[in-house]
Structure 1
Amino acid sequence: MSRCYARQRLGFVAALTGLIASVGLLNGPAASAALPTPVSAATARSYLSSLTVATENHTGYNRDLFPLWITVSGTCNTRETVLERDGTNVVTDSSCAATSGSWYSPYDGATWTAASDLDIDHLVPLAEAWDSGAGKWTTARRQAFANDLTRPQLLAVTDNVNQAKGDQDPATWVPSRSAYVCTYVRAWVQVKYYYGLSVDSAEKSALQGYLANC
Structure 2
Amino acid sequence: MVVFSSLVVFSVVSTAFSAPVLRALPTPVSVATAKTYLAALTVAVDSNVPAYSRDLFKTWDIISGTCDTRETVLKRDGTNVVTSTACAATSGNWVSPYDGVATTLASDLDIDHVVPLKEAWVSGARDWTDAQRESFANDLTRPQLVAVTDNLNESKGDPDVTGFVPPLASYVCTYIRAWITVKHFYDLTIDSAEKTALTKYINAC
Task: Provide TM-score, normalisation by structure 1.
Answer: 0.84
Q: Which of the numbers 29, 40, 59 marks the counterpart of 1:39?
A: 29
Amino acid at match of 2:167: S
The CA RMSD measured in Å over matched residues stands at 1.3
Task: Name the SS for the 2:82 alignment partner.
Answer: strand
Q: What does 1:99-118 correspond to in 2, within 5 Å?
A: 99-118=90-109
Any stretches of 5+ residues in structure 2 without a counterpart? 1-9, 14-22
Q: Which of the numbers 112, 131, 136 marks the counterpart of 1:140?
A: 131
Query: Which residue pairs with 2:20 in the alignment?
Result: none
1:30, distance to aligned residue in structure 2 (A): 4.2
Task: Name the SS for the 1:168 alignment partner.
Answer: coil
- Give the Cα–Cα distance (whole angstroms) in 2 for the partners of residues 210 and 31 of structure 1: 32
- Give the Cα–Cα distance (whole angstroms) in 2 for the partners of residues 84 and 119 of structure 1: 13
What is the identity percentage for the equivalent residue pairs of Structure 1 and Structure 2?
63
- Give the Cα–Cα distance (whole angstroms) in 1 for the partners of residues 198 and 12 of structure 2: 35
Query: Which residue pairs with 1:164 in the alignment?
Result: 155
- Give the Cα–Cα distance (whole angstroms) in 1 for the partners of residues 48 and 96 of structure 2: 29
Task: Provide TM-score, normalisation by structure 2.
Answer: 0.88
Task: Name the SS for the 1:157 alignment partner.
Answer: strand
Query: Which residue pairs with 2:53 in the alignment?
Result: 62
- Give the Cα–Cα distance (whole angstroms) in 1 for the partners of residues 48 and 12 of structure 2: 41
Greater relative CO (CA pairs within 8 A, separation 6+): 2
CA deviation profile, 1:67-102 (whole Å, cap 9, x unmatched): 101000000000000000001100000000000011
Query: Which residue pairs with 2:86 in the alignment?
Result: 95
The alpha-carbon distance between structure 1 residues 138 and 30, as it changes in their structure 2 partners (threshold 3 A), is closer
Query: Which residue pairs with 1:6 in the alignment?
Result: none
CA deviation profile, 1:113-132 (whole Å, cap 9, x unmatched): 11111000000000000000
Give the number of the structure whose alpha-carbon radius of gyration is greater: 1
